[in-house]
Amino acid sequence: MEIFSAIGQWTWFALWSLLLVVASLLVYLGLGGNFVILGLAFLHALVTGFDPIGWPLLAVLAGIAVFGEGIEFVLGTFYVARRGATRGGVVLAFVGGLVGAIVGNGLLPVAGAVLGSFVGAFSGAVLGEYQHQQRLEPSLRVGTHAFVGRLLAILVKHILGLVMIFLILRATWPV
């Protein structure tokens, strides 16, 4: 009978792990994957009476999720500025990313938001730089940096999500 209990415990742990990993991939779709992970951890804590996941771990997870949002903002916005963009290029890259995500989501739900944010950041940076410099080549270079900054931001957020998952799985590892 104990073997069935162990199999059930490990099956639930495997499903729990898979759910957390899938949630972390939501970052690539422009959704709050790290906050979904935090929500799943909170739900687990509620169901289990905050054992093994308690308030201290939830606070650390919340801090990591908020930190990820800050990193996304810094990389997505200031990375392009450090690569030589003017204020107009930086502002329009940020605005373009937001507008692109909204328009993209309207055209192709979820995945369109991601693609739109990349295209919008690139286009906004190019437009902002072209208005300032009136030269296409440097404007395209800045647009490329806006695209790369957006990509780096998403990758860093996913890595932070994986750290969150590690902490959760370490706490919920079957005994």
Using one digit for the tens of pLDDT, what is the confidence trace for 123-142?
Answer: 999 998 899 888 888 899 98
pTM of the model: 0.83
Using one digit for the tens of pLDDT, what is the confidence trace for 19-76?
Answer: 999 999 888 777 788 999 999 999 999 999 999 999 999 999 999 999 999 988 888 7
| CA dihedral sign of residues 174, 68, 142, 91 | positive
**Radius of gyration for the chain, computed over Cα atoms and rounded to the nearest angstrom:** 20
- Could you tell me the pLDDT band of residue 79, with boundaries at 50, 70 and 90? confident
How far is the CA of 65 from the CAs of 33, 93, 133, 149, 154, in angstroms? 9, 23, 38, 19, 13
Q: What local confidence, expressed as pLDDT, does residue 102 receive? A: 86
